[in-house]
């Protein structure tokens, strides 16, 4: 998981990847094994692609099957959270469109009465 670099308790190792969230600019740090993964920014929650450092190839990562499985489960959890958020946003959009329709009807009635 990405951590904030402004926190004095975070120890940044030589193997860590330090980068900024493209949405909010928050400085993030993650272990090198996170290269190429999608994570959520700890500040704004945006989905962020962890950069792959120059000279590093994804097949350079020495992940064991257990670590890969843990990352897969974390990715699935993040996907489920995003799906739930998307459903909530779609429902909110429908409510807003309905409210807009009612407002348009009221305005149209007011104009026709004038």
Dump pLDDT digits (tens) for 24-80.
999 999 988 888 889 999 999 899 999 988 877 766 666 677 877 888 898 899 899
Show Cβ contacts of residue 36 under 8 Å, excluding neighbours closer than 6 positions: 49, 50, 52, 58
The residue ranges of every structural domain in the chain are 1-62, 63-114
Alpha helices in the chain (DSSP H): 65-113
Q: How far apart are CA 66 and CA 68, in angstroms?
A: 5
Show Cβ contacts of residue 3 under 8 Å, excluding neighbours closer than 6 positions: 10, 28, 29, 30, 42
Given this model, what pLDDT does residue 90 score? 97
Three-class DSSP category at 62: coil
Categorize the per-residue pLDDT at 4 as very low, low, confident or very high, splitting at 50, 70 and 90: very low
């Amino acid at each position: 998981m990405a951590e904030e670099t402004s926190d004095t308790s975070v120890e940044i190792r030589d193997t860590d990847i330090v980068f900024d969230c493209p949405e909010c600019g928050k400085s993030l740090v993650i272990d090198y094994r996170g290269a190429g993964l999608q994570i959520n920014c700890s500040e704004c929650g945006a989905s962020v692609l962890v950069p792959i450092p120059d000279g590093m190839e994804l097949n350079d990562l020495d992940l064991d099957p257990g670590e890969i499985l843990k990352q897969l489960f974390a990715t699935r959890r993040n996907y489920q959270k995003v799906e739930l958020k998307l459903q909530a946003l779609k429902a909110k959009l429908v409510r807003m469109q309905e409210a807009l329709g009612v407002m348009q009807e009221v305005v149209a009635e007011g104009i026709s009465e004038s």
